[in-house]
Structure 1
């Protein structure tokens, strides 16, 4: 299991507000290319958003769903990039000092096939990716980077407009 932590100069509510906006995932999750659609109830348990993940021209379309949501302290997700991986991701926000937060991120495989990609040999790479993801999440929660603008179409619609990568510009998903 990959484990990462970071100190954020913002309260847990500010960190959770970033996580509660599915448009932000394309900005802070390394490998996320675009958020395509989202359930209106995100981040309620059972809600999900559709995304595109990958590197360069190689991308996969799938979705991530909320398993547990305890604002502003916990968010547990089932993240999917099938057929390659399914992972359980737990984000925990604990208050630190007057207005800070310690954010912990744990990621582990959700099924046997995913253990091929998420195993003790790949844990150092996953930890590097997650350290950069947490650095980006910190910048968003501290207000140093903007949340992407625009509306996401609801899941189940035929509209493929997406909030794209680091720039936040609309892109085709």
Structure 2
């Protein structure tokens, strides 16, 4: 598995609130360009986000499926983008000091042409993409958290 991590200046439950809203997916997942639908019970195991991958008009319509979830701490997804393949993506949220979260994002190609590439080659693509995804997630989480705190004041 290829893993990246990032510290976000909010508690794990705040990060999970953003992950638990499937409509946020295209806002932080690099390559996801459009959300068509989110199953009502997202992020329950087996629920799906129906999304497009890639730029218009060449985008591919596919789904991401929840494989496992521990609310507030862990989310495992099967991210699909055929004909490119599928990957298991694990997001682990760990408390990191006072009011902060270490988000670990691990990815493993499970199907498709990418599975046959050496892990070092996969890492050349996945590490920068997933580092950017966590940067986007951090911005989304901290922005929503700041707006929520301001609304409560």
Q: Name the TM-score, length of structure 1 as normaliser.
A: 0.79
Structure-to-structure mapping, 1:19-168, within 5 angstroms:
19-55=19-55, 57-111=57-111, 113-116=113-116, 119-143=119-143
Q: Relative to structure 1, is the Cα distance of residues 126 and 81 closer, same or farther in structure 2, using a 3 angstrom cutoff?
A: same
Residue 56 of structure 1 and its aligned partner are, at CA, apart by 5.0
Residue 117 of structure 1 and its aligned partner are, at CA, apart by 6.0
Q: Partners of 1:56 and 1:6 in 2: how far apart?
A: 30
Moved more, 21-30 or 106-115: 106-115
Aligned counterpart, 1:159: none
Q: Is the 8 A contact 2:85 2:112 kept in 1?
A: no
- Superposed CA RMSD in Å reads 2.1
Residue 116 of structure 1 and its aligned partner are, at CA, apart by 3.9
Q: Relative to structure 1, is the Cα distance of residues 63 and 112 closer, same or farther in structure 2, using a 3 angstrom cutoff?
A: closer
Q: Partners of 1:112 and 1:29 in 2: how far apart?
A: 20
Residue 144 of structure 1 and its aligned partner are, at CA, apart by 6.0
Aligned counterpart, 1:18: 18
Q: Per chain length, whose mean CA-contact separation is higher, i.e. which structure has more relative contact order (CA < 8 Å, sep 6+)? A: 1
Residue 145 of structure 1 and its aligned partner are, at CA, apart by 8.9
Where in structure 2 are there 5+ consecutive unaligned residues? 147-153
- Count of residues in correspondence between the two structures: 147
Identify the structure with the greater helix proportion: 2
Q: Name the TM-score, length of structure 2 as normaliser.
A: 0.89
- Give per-residue Cα distances to partners, 1:85-137, cap 9 Å, x unaligned: 10000000000111000000000011264414684213122100100110000
Moved more, 100-109 or 122-131: 122-131
Q: Partners of 1:61 and 1:39 in 2: how far apart?
A: 15
